[in-house]
Every structure is written in structure tokens, then in C-alpha cells.
Amino acid sequence: MKRMRIGIYVVSIFILFLYLPANSAEFCGWATSGACETDADCIKGGCSGQVCQAKSEEPVITTCEYSECYNSKAYGVDCGCVEGKCQWHMVVAQNTITKEDKNMQIKSSSFEDNEIIPRKYTCDGADVSPPLTWSKPPVGTKSIALICDDPDAPMGTWVHWVIYGLSPDTTSLPENVPSQKEVLKGAKQGINDFRKIGYGGPCPPKGPAHRYFFKVYALDIELNVPSGATKQDVEKAMKGHILTEGQLIGKYGR
């Protein structure tokens, strides 16, 4: 009976290893049992109180079904003690991305969050882009991108602005960014849903006010995307490379 139990255990471990994909974002790692006080309490990540830290660009806690989990140095991750749990983390330029880095603050001197966008920045006025500022991005940022769209448009989300390739030390955009493919010392602009390069302001049909989301992204790469790209092109290139982001919502109706 004892040999049978050992055999079942060995087979179970073997099956577990078979189903752990290389470079997976859902695997666990070895760790000491119970809570940890320092990084030294962890052995390459793993479970603590049946909660495991998975490999990710930022700490993402996943439920672990095993008291001891698979470990491999090949995944290029390290382990540390975060809020009393042994957790996986990726190190970016000597700094671990944590929840405190999650959101950037973005604002405009022309309107408050969830308030009305002045007519000047719409198709009913001069139709120039509004001034924007945001907080300093985290260490490890290689470029900044910004997208503005309207999810309330009758035919689906309408894209008003796509700008990317902004240098990592950029923390603002001036009013009236030119409608050119390249601006601001090398930044690129994409095509909006008016089929034009650069910014196209709110221009909703008559009815309730629409919401316009100005979303800024700090990226860990420089996007290899040419000027004139669509929002979908830029979002595809950004996938898996967003360190942190923020958004400002403006409203406009007619």
C-alpha cells in the first residue's frame, strides 16, 4: 500500500510537469511554507498560505493548488517577500513594479476629469488638441504613447487621436499639436477615425454628451510602428509592454 501511494505521488508530479508550459504566466515556484518576513525566506518564489505569485510584468497573485510548486531558473524571474507572501516578480532597471506604480496621473489645464471639454477643442471650434500633463513614468520606461477615443459613438468606439514614440522623459503635450506624421522631436502620430493624421476633436451627433478617454501609457519598449498607424496597430505592439497607464475623461455633447 505504501509503495502504491508513492507511485501515485510520483505519477502526479510527472503529470504536473508535463502540463507546465515553458515561459508560462501561470506556473508557481518553490517557497518556504507559511508567511515570510524577508526575501531570504523565499526560495525562488512559490506558495504562501496556498497563494502563489506567478511570473508577470507586475505582481499578479494567482491561487495555487499545490503546497509545493514547480521551479526553474530558465524563466528569468526572481523571488521576494511582498506583503508577507513569497511572490514572483520581474525586475526592471533595479526596481520591482508594484501596485503603487499602477496608475499615472493625467490632467488638462483646460478641463477637469469627467467635466466638459471646451468648444475650442472640438469640431465646433478650432478643433485643436488640448494641453495635457501627466506624472513621471516609472524607471524602466522606454517610450510613452497616448490614445484618445469615444466609447459612446453610435457605431462603436471612435478613435480621435493616436500618438506614440514620445520620449520617456515626456510628461506633457502642448495645446495644438500639429497634424503631422512626426512631431515633438521624433514622436509619431497615427490615423484617427476621421481618416486624418493627428488629433480630431469631439464631434458627436445631437443627444446626450459623449465621454472622451485620454489614455497615456508608459512602455518598456520603443514601438517599432511607422507613422500613420491605427489604434489597433499600436495596441497590438504595446501588448505585454505596458508598465503603467492613466486616463482622463472629458465630456462633450450637442
Q: Are both 196 and 108 inside the same structural domain?
A: yes
Q: Scanning the structure block, which residue is given the C-alpha cell 513569497?
A: 86
Do 172 and 228 lie in a common domain? yes
| Listed residue (79, 80, 73, 66) closest to 19, CA to CA | 66
pLDDT at 38: 56
Cell of 204: 458627436
Q: How far apart are CA 90 and CA 218, in angstroms?
A: 16
What are the pLDDT digits (tens) for 145-194? 999 999 999 999 999 999 999 999 999 999 999 999 999 989 999 999 99
Do 33 and 109 have their domain in common?
Answer: no
Host H or E run for residue 35: none
Task: Give the Cα separation of 53 and 169 in Å (integer).
Answer: 31
State the CB neighbour count (10 A cutoff) for residue 240: 10
> For residues 30 and 48, what is the distance between their CA atoms, to the nearest angstrom?
10
Residue 246 lies in domain: 103-252
Identify the domain boundary among 45, 75, 96. Answer: 96
How far is 250 from 51, CA to CA, in rounded Å?
40
As a whole number of angstroms, the distance between CA 18 and CA 200 comes to: 52
Count: domains in the chain: 2
Cα 176 to Cα 14, 54, 196: the distances in Å are 61, 44, 15
Say how far apart CA 135 and CA 199 lie, in whole Å: 22
pLDDT digits (tens, 9 = 90+) for 10-28: 444 444 334 433 333 333 3
Considering 96, 114, 146, which residue would you say is the last residue of a domain? 96
- Band (68; pLDDT cuts 50, 70, 90): very low
Predicted confidence at residue 202, as pLDDT, reads 98
Candidates 215, 196, 136, 195; CA nearest to 171 is: 136
77 and 109 co-located in one domain: no
Q: Which residue among 64, 96, 128 closes a domain? A: 96
pLDDT per residue as tens digits for the range 33-67: 345 555 455 444 544 444 434 333 333 333 333 22
Residues 45/29, Cβ–Cβ less than 8 Å:
yes
Same domain, 39 and 150: no
**Residues 79 and 112 both lie in one domain:** no
Cα Rg of the chain, angstroms: 23
103 pLDDT tier (thresholds 50, 70, 90): confident
